[in-house]
Chains A and B, each alone.
Chain A
């Protein structure tokens, strides 16, 4: 009984030792938060779109598209705001009330690709 326990513990210890030098930044980039928030409804038009990921992303290879009631809205390329490598920020033109859909494609610094989409709604101010 002691032998198998020792072998399994040795295998687990060896595996954890292999993991130790691996940089923690290597992984898929999950969307953690967004502004405007995913699925939110707001009365005042946002001036920026901010996407916060779980990992550092490479803005050169990232893509963000915004479609609204009148179709696709032209946006500038995403940038890191204030040097935060996990965030992507884009300036938004003045938005009219309606439903908007954000489509994003993120490439983390280790080249893993993730993608997603979400909506938010802008209503007339009360």
Chain B
């Protein structure tokens, strides 16, 4: 009798644990068997406990006075899940402007705050859809490096789609995935104080096209690649900003960013070239590199889990 009761109790515990497991631990960047990496230039379509420390970018471009200037940005971004689908984040950047003539200028940019909600996940179709809002808080940075005195609010829609649901006859194409974001920058002022220069609403659009070697080898065909090549995700990100009004309508700027990510167990490393898409954006190619940490894997029992499950 006792044996039967013990067996029943064990079975109940196992069944309960099994039922709870997916809710406890499904985490960053997954839709079914698709792992979406954290992209560097465009924001992710998912919510997770993650830390980008550091992101470093550098490019040579003219400053406001037309003097060629080496602009380097060192950033930190942190996102914390409040629930399994809702997260809050902040970001801060340190800017170093090193002109060919004149003194260097350096200091912090405005503080960025964000909120994001993962609205839709389809495991069989490897699809994610999120909505979110970013706020660059005016006056929290240093004006001499270009931090504005006004705030900019950017509501955005994010998406991610893996092609793993293509017919199996299209084998190798199934390792592709696309993520993207569309948002509108809403400045809290209509014009720059003093100069009267218009501050337009700006349409931000970004897309990342990724080819996942891990997905290829886990789900399509094991081509025998070993470490470190079995964890690589080559990708191209395209990011554009298009002013919509206030005298600057249609003056598109943007970059095409080919690069590569290496996905580890607790972190990823990425590097991309930043190629301007037109002369308005700039004439030189920049570089961005990033260390990105999966906090849900590093601290699964503390910092890395949602505050409310």
Interfacial residues, chain A to chain B (CB-CB below 8 A): 1, 4, 8, 11-12, 15, 19, 22, 24, 26-28, 30-34, 37-40, 54-55, 60-61, 107, 110-119
Q: Contacts of A32 on B, CB cut-off 8 Å? A: 230
User: Contacts A4-B94, A107-B21 given: A54-B218 contact, CB under 8 Å?
Assistant: no
In the complex, are the beta carbons of A31 and B54 less than 8 A apart? no
Residue on B nearest A15 in the bound complex, by CB:
B53
Q: Which among B24, B35, B299 is the interface contact of A111 at CB below 8 angstroms?
A: B24
Q: How far is the CB of B20 from chain A (nearest CB, A)?
A: 9
Q: Contacts of B76 on A, CB cut-off 8 Å? A: 11
Residue on A nearest B231 in the bound complex, by CB:
A30
CA distance A54 to B30 in the complex (A): 17
In the complex, are the beta carbons of A111 and B21 less than 8 A apart? yes
B17 at interface by CB-CB < 8 Å: yes
Residue on A nearest B263 in the bound complex, by CB:
A30
B18 at interface by CB-CB < 8 Å: yes
User: Contacts A115-B32, A116-B33, A117-B219 given: A22-B298 contact, CB under 8 Å?
Assistant: yes
Q: Contacts of B294 on A, CB cut-off 8 Å? A: 27
Q: How far is the CB of A39 from chain B (nearest CB, A)?
A: 3
B171 at interface by CB-CB < 8 Å: yes
Q: How far is the CB of B230 from chain A (nearest CB, A)?
A: 8
Q: Which among B24, B220, B297, B299 is the interface contact of A28 at CB below 8 angstroms?
A: B297
CA distance A66 to B171 in the complex (A): 20
Q: Which among A40, A54, A61, A113 is the interface contact of B26 at CB below 8 angstroms?
A: A113
In the complex, are the beta carbons of B266 and A113 less than 8 A apart? no
CA distance A25 to B51 in the complex (A): 19
> Given A1-B106, A111-B21, A117-B33, list of 10 further CB < 8 A pairs?
A12-B54, A19-B266, A22-B266, A26-B300, A32-B230, A38-B218, A61-B17, A112-B297, A113-B21, A116-B219
In the complex, are the beta carbons of A26 and B168 less than 8 A apart? no
Q: Contacts of A116 on B, CB cut-off 8 Å? A: 33, 218-219
Q: Contacts of B24 on A, CB cut-off 8 Å? A: 111
User: Contacts A15-B53, A40-B222, A116-B219 given: A61-B297 contact, CB under 8 Å?
Assistant: no
Q: Contacts of A33 on B, CB cut-off 8 Å? A: 222
Q: Which 10 A-B pairs have the closest CB atoms?
A: A39-B221, A27-B265, A116-B33, A38-B222, A111-B25, A27-B297, A112-B25, A31-B218, A37-B222, A110-B300
Q: Contacts of B222 on A, CB cut-off 8 Å? A: 33-34, 37-40
CA distance A107 to B27 in the complex (A): 12
Q: Contacts of A112 on B, CB cut-off 8 Å? A: 25-27, 296-297, 300
Q: Contacts of A1 on B, CB cut-off 8 Å? A: 96, 104, 106
In the complex, are the beta carbons of B168 and A38 less than 8 A apart? no
Q: Contacts of B301 on A, CB cut-off 8 Å? A: 110
CA distance A22 to B298 in the complex (A): 7
Chain B positions 287-309 with a Cβ under 8 Å from a chain A Cβ: 293-294, 296-301
B194 at interface by CB-CB < 8 Å: no
Q: Contacts of B166 on A, CB cut-off 8 Å? A: none
CA distance A111 to B26 in the complex (A): 9
CA distance A8 to B106 in the complex (A): 14
In the complex, are the beta carbons of B53 and A12 less than 8 A apart? yes
CA distance A12 to B219 in the complex (A): 36
Q: How far is the CB of B131 from chain A (nearest CB, A)?
A: 25
